Structure 1
């Protein structure tokens, strides 16, 4: 190389050597973020619909609650600065933050809390946790910043429930429009919803702690196809993808540009059974279905191995958990015997309704194969999420379906007479009532164990596994949740570095 040629290369070499540093500084100053989501929500009001995708966008971002559920499952103050509980756990006094306003300029106060909870319990309410609010004997606005709630019965999990999306505080004048244009007290407000494509949020300058918010604009892109999810991440079109499909992990695990977070959860992925349909109303048939399915095979096929087998509607790590996987273990020969004992002539044809998520569609392939071995022909019906919510969840028009129940404390669903799996057991209802009215933790945990065993014995559902959720993100995004007791994308602590 000639001397002059070497000299000419020095500026270029210096530029190249400083490029990573320049990129790091540029990213550290970024104020925008694009997140991927598998499903688009049907609306943006979590008090009106059951889809968890609603809360993934609005909870803690636009709409807020009295308490906040953190990534570790703990409960801390949010719109309530503090609270007091009576010794019998029935009366809760919330002391509210002062100087907080809604995004339309209206004040946040005790009257808004009273309105929100009475609306959630009202005759026209479609809140999926309506029973929680109907169980409030009274909601009293003692003054502008003090709310006193008296529950009909004590509820040890009440403060947790008050941090869930169904308990968001809405502004009375704008509440009816929240499904399209939610108005809350949170750090973000809706900027644009491009149906079928994305939802964009922008930082709200009127937020009480606006200076601490680093992400000024966040876009949620809806990408249901697993291959397209991977492509969007690799291209940099998406900065983070919470709860991405497990099959994408090998593409990112050893790539220094990305971080892969494997998060624990309180979710339960289940093969739900319509207990009202014949012959599924026979416990022997339901037990046969459970015995026919190898949970480990489903975890491999549906979740890439990211899951823990469960035998009831509770998961390892939750207080009071007991291992019930031995109640209806994998045993195809026993499954055949149970069907014969129940007088079922095989082949038995059942419909298997599958919503869009990969865990359902891929898990469905495994379950169809497993059931076929014992003489059950599962006829697959693939439906879109809106169809599942209306036809399966609301109208109960199905035999079997696969879905993940993500709420941490949802045993109460088995006491709801109109819930989509049509399970009815007065003994379980009485046991659950006792659980709710037992303040002693050790006694309560023992009762929770009884409840888990009762559901397993009844084979109310075929429980498959506790999923482990995977987030893939740009290496320089920080503040993402590392555990997921509930499904939210809390942007308030997220930033670039």
Structure 2
């Protein structure tokens, strides 16, 4: 059902490659890079804690991607390649990793990177007192040795097959100056192409070109990220020239902007995946029949049209669709209101007996629209669903940190690495397991995957994890969402801006024509 038909028929109130379609619609007036200028970016989200070890939000990571570099990174095919390390090697037994660092790498405070900084950064991330969201990456680390200023040797006490790929994300692999942890949350210091200047919380972040960047200075003199979660306001700023660039063009306006031909449009699939979360400490959701019933209430295709104007594709799995571990055999449960009512009654919840509060954040307007659509379907299934709208900061405080919610919705970016995805989100002790899921079978599988060296065997384990998640309906998977950027014709280098993970934006090779 197309969105127009859906809107007309419902009583609800509404307020394959990783990187495809990336060619801008308009050629820049000048094809050669130009140095100088300040790019004003309309950022669709609000930054939070600026400590790259502690932050769990892609909104903040998207900015800090330009401030920090990791010891290793990935290429367009998501293969791990050197970054701040000039080279790396793994021992035959898989227990020792040796990193040879690039000489002459400068931090924004003027100090030169050495092995002591790497040791400090890894140990800080691993330390429980730090509160790092990627602490478990270092669980198997036995020792970190620095035989000379440009060599780091990490020894594990057991095989951790995804160790290198987990370091390829800034969260775990970012290298900070030794002793800088206390200031990272407010004034981050890294070795990236841009230096942090200031932040007005909830308004904007200013970055300045770092001329001593090891990979050559950026073209832009400055980037100002203006935080504008409201899609229409963001688009208006672009069209009036107040903004040079925005991410997340409003889904209902992408076709119009492309047809007008006045702005550059970059699109890719996928940007992220969305799912409905059920708090497993809430008694009804401790029963798999209730969780499956809630899954059956939702028509994912219609919800995609209604909330996202079809800008994505439904999925029963959160794995990247190009990943070897993607379980293509999973198919979404079709909407079955009568079946859901029967399953709820079997679980002891007859019509009218369940009152559920759905907490949705205004940081993602399409989450609010999704929740509003769900109200009517849940009413039809005999469930009283009410919506509580939260700011992004309140959502993070209540749902993420305090786990004070019954039902919510969230999207995740940059989780291309399956250990990062499945261990962090679904293992009982995973740092991103804010739903309090505790499934011994998933725990065992995600631990087994970590010590399984053969990639094909490891992929099969993750497929089994996906099957278990689906069977138990621990969360309700919805869709992959498309990514989009709109820009003035004066912006060059847009073909370089999207990180291979589909989420982060890198301004190193972006420029402004006069």
Matched, 1:485 2:493: no
Q: Which runs of 4+ in 1 moved over 6 A?
A: 20-23
Equivalenced residues, count? 476
- 1:88–1:21: structure 2 CA closer, same or farther, 3 Å change rule? closer
**What are the ranges of 5 or more consecutive residues in structure 1 without an aligned counterpart?**
1-19
> CA shift at 1:403, angstroms?
0.6
User: What TM-score results when the alignment is normalised by the length of structure 1?
Assistant: 0.90
Residues 336 and 324 of structure 1: CA distance in aligned 2, closer, same or farther (over 3 Å): farther
Q: Which residue of 2 aligns with 1:397?
A: 404
Distance change (3 Å), C-alpha of 1:139 and 1:374: same
Check conservation: 1:324, 1:452, Cα contact below 8 A. Answer: no
* 1:263-309 CA-partner distances (Å, limit 9, x unpaired): 12363200011112111110000000101101111211222201221
How far residue 25 of structure 1 moved from its aligned partner, in angstroms, is: 9.2
Following the alignment from structure 2 to structure 1, what is the Cα–Cα distance between the partners of residues 322 and 438?
Answer: 27
Task: For 1:339-358, list aligned pairs within 5 A.
Answer: 339-347=344-352, 348-356=354-362, 357-358=364-365
Structure 1 residue 152 displacement after superposition: 3.7
Q: Which of residues 30, 35, 40 in structure 1 aligns to 2:46?
A: 40
Which stretch of structure 1 is more off in the superposition, 292-301 or 31-40? 31-40
Aligned match of 1:374? 381
Contact 1:266 1:315 in 2 (8 A): no
State the partner residue of 2:9. Answer: none
Q: Tell me how far apart the structure 1 counterparts of residues 97 and 321 of structure 2 sit (CA, whole Å).
A: 30
Structure 1 residue 155, shift from structure 2 partner:
3.1
**Alpha-carbon distance between aligned partners in 2 of 1:135 and 1:324, rounded to the nearest angstrom:** 33
Residue 233 of structure 2, aligned match among 228, 237, 247: 228
Residues 352 and 27 (structure 1), Cα distance of their counterparts in 2 relative to 1, 3 Å cut = same
- Check the 8 A contact 1:114/1:141 in 2, yes or no: yes
Q: What does residue range 83-482 of structure 1 map to in structure 2 within 5 Å?
A: 83-167=88-172, 168-211=174-217, 213-265=218-270, 267-323=272-328, 325-326=330-331, 328-347=333-352, 348-356=354-362, 357-406=364-413, 407-409=415-417, 410-412=421-423, 413-417=425-429, 419-475=433-489, 476-479=491-494, 480-481=496-497
**TM-score of the pair, normalised by structure 2:** 0.87
User: Are the counterparts in 1 of residues 245 and 485 from structure 2 also a CA contact under 8 Å?
Assistant: yes
Asked if 1 retains the 8 angstrom alpha-carbon contact of 2:499 and 2:505, the reply is no
Residue 254 of structure 1: SS of its match in structure 2?
helix
Q: What do residues 430-477 of structure 1 show as CA deviations (whole Å, max 9, x unaligned)?
A: 111121211112222222211110111110101111111111122343
SS in 1 for 2:258: coil
| Matches of 2:498 and 2:27, distance apart in 1 | 27
Separation of aligned partners in 2, 1:201 and 1:458:
45
Computed over aligned residues only, the root mean square deviation of the Cα atoms, in angstroms, reads: 2.3
CA offset digits 1:309-349 (Å, max 9, x no partner):
11133242121211354363322222112111111122211
Specify the SS of the correspondent of 2:386: strand
Residues 1:169 and 1:341: Cα distance change in structure 2 (over 3 Å): same
For the residue of structure 1 that corresponds to 2:426, the secondary structure is helix
Q: Any idea what SS the aligned residue of 2:321 has?
A: coil
Superposed CA offset, 1:95-123 (max 9, x none): 11011121112221111111111111113
Shift of residue 369 of structure 1?
2.3
In 2, Cα distance between equivalents of 1:27 and 1:209: 16
